[in-house]
Chains A and B, each alone.
Chain A
Amino acid sequence: MFRYILKRFFVSLITIWILATLTFFLVRILPGDPFTSEKITPEIKANMMKYYGLDKPLPVQYATYMGNLVKGDMGYSLRYKNREVNNIIADAFPASAELGIRSLAFSVTVGLILGIIAALNHNKGWDYASMVIAVIGVSVPSFVIGALVQYLFGIHWKLLPVAQWKSFAHTIMPTFSLGLGTLALIARLMRTSMLEVVGQDYIKTAKAKGLSPAQVTIKHQIRNAILPVVTVLGPLVAALLTGTFVVEQIFAIPGLGRHYVLSIQNLDYTMVMGLTIFFGAFLVFMNFIVDIAYGLVDPRIRVGK
């Protein structure tokens, strides 16, 4: 198990390093520089470039950046004067994280319940109803759901606040729009996995030794069926994270997703790099956790390789 964790950890580190390097060089190929849109004389521009270290040769810039990155310093934003990228991330991350965690909790609980209900009522009304919800959830993009609920509940019926991130009522619509797609995926996966497990011999054994149907379902069926769902949690977190880019924009939530989109449009080099690496590292870390969790719950994985 220890070797398995070590190997996963090593791969994660390499991934983050490659991502940081790629980001650094890709961002440098970008047309224009961060001061293009400002009306300044060439001298001031040269001064600014010097101030931010952009006049040095690329390898030097790279070495400096990597050195600082290892120390956890991502430099200053080129757009927001005198604000550190770290600072901006620290400011905006809580809202995004809250949105993400709420959505994850919502989609996992409701998704699992829907999947279980569907599988227990295989080929009956409940099954079809759950699967219709699941297929719609997979097919309708989050920005469509977001705009739709915003229009209906916020503008048309005036039931919920239209935008912003303040009270609990503000969080309902964003959470729902962000979580629905993930919910659908989990429901579908859980249903298939439940149906697969139900034919296994150990279920027959459990029934044969006289356990009640509820016990068989909870102790044996659900516990075993949940395994495949754990594996997709990594990609699901990634989907949620990218979903925040649009959902935060629709509901005017002051989170990282909005900053990311804005910094790309503003050619804010250090912000783009900082956020890309932050997102990337975050997701790689989540995948690492999921891999280990999977190794813990399913011995076949860690023993196998």
Chain B
Amino acid sequence: MEISREKFKHVGINEEKSQSIVRPSMTYWQDAWRRLKKNKIAMLGLIVIIVMTIMSIIGPMMVPYNHSDNDLSNTDQSPNSEHWFGTDDLGRDLWARVWMGARVSLFIGLMAALLDTLIGILVGGVSGFYGGKIDMLIMRFIDVMIAIPSMIFIILIMVIVGSGVVPIIISFAITGWLSMARLVRGQILQLKEQEFVLAARTLGANSSRLILRHLIPNTLGVIIVSLTMRIPSAIFTEAFLSFIGLGVKPPMSSWGQLASSGAAVLRVFPYRLFIPAFFISITMLSLNLFGDGLRDALDPRLRK
């Protein structure tokens, strides 16, 4: 076969075509979601978290018992077809208590994390954006406060405000925002020198628009990762406090409170500790794995 000149033709440059974008353009979030979907372990974590959340909503409704109703004729039952997780020393159904506890623990975890993130963004944003004296003051304040061990601080606050769900969330928020504010400030300091901020400023954007529309959205990835990591630590702290008798008190239930009362009867009914302990651990595990995956997905530079 002969390859001759005639077989080829000159097509030239199609200006329009070479400029057109063939593949669909992906936003940062679509890209992150695509990366996250590929991470099987993180997705497994996400599924477990979703299942736990759903169970915490419908779990207590699946049985005809209330989490706080005593039934003194049916105390200390082992798991059976009537009471799927058995009953405690006052005859309260443990299935209802475990899922009610899930509701409380997850709620505390989420609310505490959201609240301290919000405060952190606000303070860190202001501090990083305006700089100067305000920044100096806020940062010195945080330096000193952060050096106080947070658990001791939380215990002190709990002792004063009293036990219960709302005091726990408040005390977590009071101690938790410090590191978030530092993180956000660092990010804002880095970002505000970049060209797109200068461009926005040149176009006449005012400070609040710069912060809300340009700076915060660009730090959102880091913030969300930190937020997901805070949820398990808040759940852990709640469980810890309830375990030493400072957190949620019966008849209200939380996983830590159930574990605490389970530990008291460990020799006779070991499953009463191990059921809530299992759920605490599996939730913490899933949240940690999901958080790791999310970090890799949102910040590819950090990927190892």
Contacts and interface: CB of A to CB of B under 8 A. Distances in A.
Interface of A: 11-12, 14-15, 18-19, 22-23, 26-27, 29-31, 135-136, 138-141, 143-144, 147-148, 150-151, 155, 192, 195-196, 238, 241-242, 245-246, 249-250, 260-261, 264-265, 272, 276, 279-280, 283-284, 287
Contacts of A19: 148
Interface residues of B, number: 38
Nearest to B154: A242
B118 interface: no
Contacts of A147: 259, 262-263, 266, 273, 277
Contacts, number: 114
Contacts of A30: 159-160
Given A139-B284, A141-B281, A11 B156 contact: no
Given A143-B243, A276-B156, A135 B285 contact: yes
Interface stretch (B14-22, B189-197, B204-212, B232-240): B232-240
Given A26-B156, A238-B151, A261-B246, 19 more contacts: A22-B156, A23-B156, A26-B160, A29-B160, A135-B289, A140-B285, A141-B281, A141-B284, A143-B240, A144-B273, A144-B277, A147-B273, A196-B304, A242-B240, A245-B240, A246-B244, A261-B244, A264-B155, A272-B159
Interface string B282-304: 00110011000000000000001
Contacts of B281: 136, 139-141, 144
A289 to B, nearest CB: 13
Interface string B255-278: 000010011001100100110010
A200 B160 CA distance: 52
B284 A140 contact: yes
B259 A143 contact: yes
Interface of B: 143-145, 147-149, 151-152, 155-157, 159-160, 162, 232, 236, 239-240, 243-246, 259, 262-263, 266-267, 270, 273-274, 277, 280-281, 284-285, 288-289, 304
Q: Is the interface of A mostly helix, strand, loop or mixed?
A: helix
